[in-house]
Amino acid sequence: MTGFRWEIIEEYGPLFMDGALMTIKCTIICVILGTLWGLTLGLGRMAKAEHGVWKYVLRYLVQFPVRFYVSAFRGTPLFVQIMVVHFALVPLFINPRDGLLVTSGMMSADFARELRSNYGAFLSCIVAITLNAGAYVSEIFRAGIQSIDKGQMEASRALGMPWWKTMRQVILPQAFRRILPPLGNNAIAIVKDSLAGVGHRSGGSGLRRAHRFRRLRHLLGTLPDHLPGLLGYYFPAGAAG
């Protein structure tokens, strides 16, 4: 093509390939972790006990927190979640001076410093996208499980099978076949979302500028704009059960 400057491709080609490989790695890790986390949340959302104290324990200590978690992560921008994870959550656990993993003896200060220096932004990307994807995947699993006829659960319980065994051996194998298409769509969304996180990794100076000018405070200041929609989503869902 006339006028096309191939030397630019030759000069920046390695950077493009490095970014593509980083996106692929981030996507694969987030799809696996997000699916497992979403399955855990989905089962927690639907966990039930017929009677006794466990009925209230599951309702107030499992179902309600999971419901709020899903609403919060689906109702706030992913960019804000990435910044909060990078500047608040990751330093809380991985900090060479006073991180929880360091003070508890589970991680050495030198290893924490090396991890934050070389993989801090990438780790933040993985954690943020996994937490975000898990909220959406949990609803996919919940919809797939609820699409299975209730008679199968009732028949299994009548045979004496506990709830978790029924879910693992009877319900989930059938539901998984139905949720494969939406899980594929979610994987495509993770590819797009990973570009935001990987962009922060490749632009580490941008993260430093964000820290210098306290952009996190301004981003947190936008959260009240999303609270009406978030609360409107959560409370009707809570009322519906």
Band of the pLDDT at 83, cuts 50, 70, 90?
confident
pTM score: 0.77
Q: Distances in Å between the alpha carbon of 143 and those of 38, 147, 197, 201, 239? A: 12, 6, 28, 35, 18
- Rounded to the nearest 5°, which phi and psi values hold at 96? -60, -20
Band of the pLDDT at 231, cuts 50, 70, 90?
low
Q: Is the pLDDT of residue 130 over 80?
A: yes
Q: Is the pLDDT of residue 222 over 70?
A: no
pLDDT value, residue 237: 45
The lowest-confidence range among 18-32, 129-143, 184-198 is 184-198
Per residue in 52-82, pLDDT (tens digit) is: 788 888 888 999 999 999 999 998 888 889 8
Q: Is the pLDDT of residue 9 over 80?
A: no
Token couple for 41: 């949340």
Domain residue limits, the chain: 28-240
* Cβ-based neighbour number of residue 193 at 10 Å: 24
Query: In the chain, what percentage of residues exceed pLDDT 90?
Result: 38
* Cβ-based neighbour number of residue 65 at 10 Å: 13
pLDDT value, residue 49: 74
CATH topology (fold) of 28-240: MetI-like fold (1.10.3720)
- Rounded to the nearest 5°, which phi and psi values hold at 95? -145, 125
The lowest-confidence range among 38-52, 74-88, 160-174, 227-241 is 227-241
Band of the pLDDT at 220, cuts 50, 70, 90?
low
Band of the pLDDT at 241, cuts 50, 70, 90?
very low
Per residue in 144-203, pLDDT (tens digit) is: 999 999 899 889 888 988 888 898 899 999 999 999 999 999 999 998 888 765 555 444
Q: Distances in Å between the alpha carbon of 15 and those of 4, 20, 192, 211? A: 19, 9, 19, 25
| Degrees, nearest 5: CA angle 28-30-35 | 105
Mean pLDDT over each residue of the chain, to the nearest integer: 81
